[in-house]
Structure 1
Amino acid sequence: MSNYVCSKCRAPAVFRMRHHRLAFCQAHYLEWFIEQTARVIEKYHMFTPQDRILVAVSGGKDSLALWDVLWRLGYPTDGLYINLGINGSDLEYSNESEHYARAFAEQNNLTLRVVNVQQSYAETIPQLASHSQRGRVKPCGVCGLVKRHIMNQVAMDNGYSLLTTAHNLDDEVAVLMGNTLTWQVDLLQRQSPVLPAEDGFVRKAKPFCRFYERETAAYTLLRGIPYEEDECPYAVGSKQLTFKDILNKLEETTPGIKMNFYASFQNARADGYFVAPGKTTDEPTAELRKCPGCGQPTTSAGLCAFCRLVKPA
């Protein structure tokens, strides 16, 4: 970065963003990042300082950066870490991730809620997946199902106004590419920076949806936040990583194409291009019922998918 200077103070820059045509020193990058997060929150009317916010924390760079930014902006936040039981002889992935989440909370005098899947439901994610059709190849589908259930349950049971997740722009456009290639209109309809509360579902927001992954990584590193650097061992070979690789190659030749893809989609979505007749953009596409097992919303006539997973007949 020695050839670039800070766009604000002209000191040597430590981080450059080609798509923004900006470069910053450490202090001004951290300042810029927080300001941009505040703008995204305001742009999409995500939440206010009067809300009680539950931050989904994985122990990785993105979620710890999000929690750090939100409390620095003055929002009342608690964290939620879900220990999935993804541990082995070579990598204690879940336990190490929990360590980083706990360390961050303790260092900043913040409250962290921890749910241990094995302690709560008798089996780890890999074990639950092993006897599920959904997880016959990889446990990722089961993992997502369990995390969504627990996050919503903890938020609803403890009176939080909303749940925030640290999905970044790279995450969002990878999902968008997958849903577009298979033309999943119902999923495209609901891929929004904010999903409003429904009966039984807490409001959800993604304050990092317009940040590139390298930008959130730079914030975490420049802020000096320790985090779990290893990826989940089951992520290897996933479609999401394939889509990210493709989009990274496009970004290399055309800086800003990820942002253009995402912003253009959100504009089209706001204009109603992915809405079924007679519905609004945020309405569920199927009728919701209350699960007789856990009380959470489901489209099933009987037990929800989560209860069928953890309470097999």
Structure 2
Amino acid sequence: MRQHKLALCNIHFPQWIVEQTQRFIAKYRMFSPDDRLLVAVSGGKDSLSLWDILWQLGYQADGVYIALGIDGGFGYSQKSQELCEKFANQRGLKLIVVDAPQQIGLTIPELAAVTQRGKNKPCSVCGLTKRHILDQIAREGQYDVLATGHNLDDEAAVLFGNTLNWNVGYLYRQSPVLPARHAGLVRKVKPLCRFYEREMAAYALVRGIEYIYEECPHAAGSTTIYYKTLLNQLEADRPGAKLSFYLAFLQAKEKGLFAQPLGDGGEEGIGAGGEELHTCPGCGGPTTVEGLCAFCRMVEKVK
């Protein structure tokens, strides 16, 4: 690992990953041993590796998988679900499976086509649906924390895009920890945010974690993948560039480089952008407008 100036064997590498994760959890005050964690798993290397790490560390961590009805010619959603179920069964862990098409009446691609949201690509609808369901499961299950497997490559790509477009509001909100700002939300954390994607792939390989290798069939041509390609080119010429970029950003935030949006004092009921949060009468989740939230409005259109 050139970026860390470190060489580890198959025995000590996974131990290092686990120890570093615990260090990140403590550094950013993500959660305590008494907290109940819900891990969002997709069948990919990052989310399953995160669940494996938290399990090894002894945290109370259940998993949740959202079946989205995405086929792509090879049964993408079905294959992903089977891998999550196998992982949980091997370790005696609880996995909550949510069938989104059964709840909504349409698969994600079908919902995107009907609502015409997101310029004929299902990514926008998919993101909105997953966020809604994850918040709902965490709220109804009375979990304290929702953990996701975002790695350094994910975070650096988002940061690059927001910096390129100077989206100050998004830059202000990007963080390893997102506090709960509404009764319908729980704290969200990203324990893997400082690990490179290739490090997590190596961890999954060494630990014998089976995961889905294929990308989502609808991911091709996404802006995030394009940004990742650019950052990979930079990383090849300058090892450690992505990590330096992300850590420097977090340090700048700590020093107050990004102004706090007007009205945002971090209190409950106020969004990260300073807007007032209301309770959706349809699902009980937060919404920045009075009445139904974006998800409930979308579903109402197709029913």
1:294 aligns with 2:283: yes
Q: Counterpart of 1:135 in 2: which secondary structure?
A: coil
**Equivalent residue letter for 1:238:** S
Contact 1:53 1:78 in 2 (8 A): yes
**Equivalent residue letter for 1:211:** F
Q: Which residue of 1 aligns with 2:139?
A: 156
User: What's the C-alpha RMSD, in Å, of the aligned pairs?
Assistant: 1.3
Q: Percent identity over the alignment?
A: 56
Q: Counterpart of 1:113 in 2: which secondary structure?
A: strand
1:276 aligns with 2:261: yes
Unaligned runs of 5+ in 1: 1-16
Aligned with residue 310 of structure 1, among 291, 299, 302: 299
Q: Which residue of 2 aligns with 1:144?
A: 127
In structure 1, distance between residues paired with 2:20 and 2:187? 22
Q: Counterpart of 1:26 in 2: which secondary structure?
A: coil
Q: Which residue of 2 aligns with 1:10?
A: none
Aligned with residue 183 of structure 1, among 158, 166, 169: 166
**Equivalent residue letter for 1:63:** S
- TM-score normalised according to structure 2 size: 0.95
Q: Counterpart of 2:14 in 1: which secondary structure?
A: helix
In structure 1, distance between residues paired with 2:286 and 2:2? 44
In structure 2, distance between residues paired with 1:143 and 1:270? 32
Q: Which residue of 1 aligns with 2:27?
A: 43
Q: Counterpart of 2:272 in 1: which secondary structure?
A: coil
Larger relative contact order (C-alpha < 8 A, sep ≥ 6)?
2
Q: Which residue of 1 aligns with 2:106?
A: 123
Q: Which residue of 2 aligns with 1:237?
A: 221
In structure 2, distance between residues paired with 1:81 and 1:116? 9
What CA deviation, in whole Å up to 9, does each residue of 1:226-278 have, x standing for no partner? Answer: 11111101111100000000000000111111011101111111222222356
Q: Which residue of 1 aligns with 2:247?
A: 263
Q: Counterpart of 2:3 in 1: which secondary structure?
A: coil
Q: Counterpart of 2:62 in 1: which secondary structure?
A: strand
What CA deviation, in whole Å up to 9, does each residue of 1:69-111 have, x standing for no partner? Answer: 00100001100000010014x2100000000000000000000
Contact 2:181 2:266 in 1 (8 A): no
Greater than 4 Å deviation, 4+ residue runs: 280-283
Contact 1:129 1:138 in 2 (8 A): yes
In structure 2, distance between residues paired with 1:193 and 1:117? 27
**Equivalent residue letter for 1:305:** A
In structure 1, distance between residues paired with 2:119 and 2:100? 19
Which has the larger displacement, 293-302 or 208-217?
293-302
In structure 2, distance between residues paired with 1:144 and 1:108? 29
Specify whether residues 302 and 279 from structure 1 end up closer, same or farther in structure 2 by C-alpha distance, changes over 3 A only. closer
Q: CA deviation at 1:280?
A: 4.4
Q: CA deviation at 1:136?
A: 3.0
Matches within 5 A, 1:209-224: 209-224=193-208
- TM-score normalised according to structure 1 size: 0.92
In structure 1, distance between residues paired with 2:96 and 2:209? 19
Equivalences, count: 296
In structure 2, distance between residues paired with 1:131 and 1:23? 51
Specify whether residues 238 and 281 from structure 1 end up closer, same or farther in structure 2 by C-alpha distance, changes over 3 A only. farther
